[in-house]
Amino acid sequence: MSTSTAPESDPMNEGYAARLDEDIPTRFTRGVVDGFTEASEAFSHELEGTNRFPDLMGRSVAGVIRANARLLDELATVVRQMSDGLSVRSQAAAANDELDYERLADLVAQRLTSMDVKATAANTAESTARSRKT
């Protein structure tokens, strides 16, 4: 019974896509809060109906064990969702980052040509300045 907004069964739905825009600390904090909520509920359910001290001691230990298990389970879920989100982001970025090698070659050639023109102009200006001094 998680309080997170995205169901685990379909991680590619709209709620999950909206969560991809969240930053990682926010998602992690939400997961920790969900984990503590789950742990608290597990502990409370374990102690329900206990009215004798010996039963309370035994069930308290069991409740702590169940609470720790729920907390770790919820944290594992949020870490898994975060890593899935990062892989989806990286795959989307890789798909959008295909290079246009022809355009890149044209830009490099243009830059090199402009650098060559500047170097030629500088050499001409330098030789002109030398000839004027003599």
Q: What is the pLDDT of residue 2?
A: 47
The whole-number pLDDT of residue 17 equals 47
Output 4-7 pairs: Cβ under 8 A, ≥24 positions apart: 4/30, 4/31, 4/34, 4/77, 4/78, 4/81, 6/81
Per-position pLDDT tens, the chain of length 134: 444 444 455 444 444 444 556 677 887 888 888 888 888 888 888 888 777 777 788 888 888 888 888 888 888 888 888 787 776 666 666 666 677 788 888 999 999 888 888 878 777 777 776 777 66
Domain residue ranges in the chain: 1-98, 99-134
Amino acid in the structure at residue 83: S
What is the pLDDT at residue 7?
47
Q: What is the pLDDT of residue 46?
A: 82
65-101 exposure pattern, b = at least 16 Cβ within 10 A, e = fewer: ebbeebbeebbebbeebbeebeeeeeeeeeeeeeeee
Residue 11 pLDDT: 45
User: What is the pLDDT, as a whole number, of residue 33?
Assistant: 87
